[in-house]
Structure 1
């Protein structure tokens, strides 16, 4: 029977797991391959305690970020519709298109919250009308609102 020892992975390994995973492997595999190549470290009481503390800190940071995103989403949930004025040509076609920068600046002026381009999903807009605008913070936190394109006469 082979002796199994516990190690903490330092790198992602397809057959064992991801960084920080605590796994049991045979002692020969650990001492001859994983540890010399710095793929893993021996799991002692101290290193396991350190690993648990590190995971707790990481989870705490993730919770703080999640709370900030929830607060931002609450601000955006209060907005049901935003309007953007664009120059209009024939057949209610607008000159150019509505882009992410315009939407981000409009939402910033309303809420004071900065968004990134990757958070905003809007369709290709070339005409006047009402469109759906989706703001996605994470897979769990999403906000939908209406985007109204109005004519601008200079």
Structure 2
């Protein structure tokens, strides 16, 4: 069944794309939800005319998507999660968690435009943000155990305390010599 999409559907296509889907999916979900219309010859002519008239507006939308993509292209996420002794996560790290972490960094991105395989073990993954059909940004996501960063902080804390203790001694020594 050939359909014209009325909105972006991740994994299927973008707005105004002509896609082929199984007839049950189109007839029972996409058309009743208002997400697509049947791609009749008349609908295709209307689509072509609308795209011709909206070319300037579509260029502005693409430029805005590229600007958003530039803002997050250098972002790398490190997500701490609870892990069992075997390295298996309790739960998983998915697109929702990636969206929350990006929001903490000041990038308000809808979770629906992020695709990522669910991370169920510690390791490196990639989340893809789909801003526009021609603008996609890959974000590296590193999943680490919650306990690992705490141990590193404990090691760093005594090192930070040692120079603080030495500093007053160094200041006091020149004062007594004068």
TM-score by length of 2: 0.53
In structure 2, distance between residues paired with 1:102 and 1:20? 37
Unaligned runs of at least 5 residues, structure 2: 1-36, 151-178
In structure 2, distance between residues paired with 1:137 and 1:116? 10
- Residue 73 of structure 2: aligned partner: 77
Per-residue deviation, 1:61: 2.2
The question of 1:87 aligning with 2:82 is answered yes
Among 96, 99, 112, the alignment partner of 2:94 is: 99
Per-residue deviation, 1:85: 0.5
Secondary structure of 1:74's match? Answer: helix
Among 124, 131, 137, the alignment partner of 1:137 is: 131
Per-residue deviation, 1:21: 5.6
Taking the TM superposition and a 5 Å limit, the aligned residue runs for 1:1-154 are 14-16=40-42, 17-19=44-46, 56=53, 58-79=54-75, 81-110=76-105, 112-153=106-147
In terms of fraction of residues, the more helix-rich structure is: 2
In structure 2, distance between residues paired with 1:76 and 1:84? 17
**Alignment length, in residue pairs?**
111
In structure 2, distance between residues paired with 1:132 and 1:90? 24
In structure 2, distance between residues paired with 1:145 and 1:126? 18
Per-residue deviation, 1:146: 1.3
Per-residue deviation, 1:20: 6.1
TM-score by length of 1: 0.61
In structure 2, distance between residues paired with 1:83 and 1:95? 17
**CA RMSD of superposed structures (Å):** 2.7
Query: Which segments of structure 1 move beyond 3 Å, counting only runs of 4 or more?
Result: none
